[in-house]
Amino acid sequence: MPDLYAVIGNPIAHSKSPTIHTLFAQQTHQHMQYYALLSPLDNFRGTVSEFLGQNGKGLNVTVPFKLEAYQLATQLTERASIAQAVNTLRFDNDAIFGDNTDGVGLVKDIEINLGIPITHQRILLIGAGGAAQGVILPLLQKQPALLAIANRTSDKAHALQQKFSVYGDVVAGDIMNFSDQDFHIVINATSASLQGELPELPGKIFTHTILAYDMMYGREPTPFLHLAKYSGAQQQADGIGMLVEQAAESFFLWRNVRPQTQPVIALLKSHTPSPLTP
């Protein structure tokens, strides 16, 4: 019997994770099976128990269960504990190990795949929900010159500033607080792109931007990436690279083998795109 893994979420049908992990498994000759697992919104724990009953070895966790996965884990990495969100579970005998590989996935995509250093750069992170919270610590560990967190509801950005200031230079506010400032890297961590919307954003913010990065992805460039392009951002990227990189980190946690990400990113980018889902 192959070892069993899955991505659990709701909705989940359009997830690319089964494709990614199946390609990783083929590439590294791992005897495993990975599938998409739909959990009822009100029965995450029950669905995980059932998966464990089938001798499941590990799960990726996506919207809206990352907080519940954090609560379920009996052992947490520092980054998962600080993010208070878990996207990777590994079942080790009686222990449930929880990690969050989203941030390291983003950092690797920006620095290695796109070749843009984060250290000493001015970074603007738009959004203050779970997706933003999961990437702040790994970004700060790269020692940017500044991390500005802008959110429609500025109180939430200020709460994150308070929480993360011990790890680096963090400022927070409404996007309009930063409209006269230059940022090298602008990251959209809001869920606006999922609805085909654009967070309110002054185009001039992109005047000196090297990279505009949308953590979401979809059929077409998102409205955020459109605005960035036409407002002068030198380069634009969607979240496909981050998705594959976070998957590779999870795969490593489960199998202790590092798959190559480049061929998988290239394949996903060339394939018929699917709707906007993590």
- Rounded to a whole number of angstroms, the minimum distance from the CB of residue 195 to ligand ATR is 7
Using the minimum distance from each CB to ligand ATR, give the nearer residue, 23 or 192: 192
Query: Which residues of this chain interact with ligand ATR, rule CB under 6 A?
Result: 127-132, 151-153, 156, 190-192, 197, 199
- Rounded to a whole number of angstroms, the minimum distance from the CB of residue 222 to ligand ATR is 12
Q: Alpha carbon of 246 to those of 41, 60, 108, 239: distances in Å? A: 24, 10, 9, 11
C-alpha span between 33 and 56 (Å, rounded) = 10
How many residues in total does the chain contain?
278
Residue nearest to ligand ATR according to CB distances in the complex:
129
Extract the tokens encoding 217: 């992805």
Tell me whether strands 75-76 and 185-188 are parallel, antiparallel or unpaired: unpaired
Extract the tokens encoding 10: 């709701």
Q: Which residues face 96 on adjacent strands?
A: 91
The catalytic site residues sit at 66
Using the minimum distance from each CB to ligand ATR, give the nearer residue, 112 or 176: 176
Return the amino acid letter for 59: L
Contact (Cβ atoms closer than 8 angstroms) between residue 250 and residue 20: no
Cα 91 to chain centroid, rounded: 22
Using the minimum distance from each CB to ligand ATR, give the nearer residue, 33 or 177: 177
- Rounded to a whole number of angstroms, the minimum distance from the CB of residue 92 to ligand ATR is 27
Contact (Cβ atoms closer than 8 angstroms) between residue 132 and residue 160: yes
- Rounded to a whole number of angstroms, the minimum distance from the CB of residue 154 to ligand ATR is 8
Using the minimum distance from each CB to ligand ATR, give the nearer residue, 89 or 189: 189
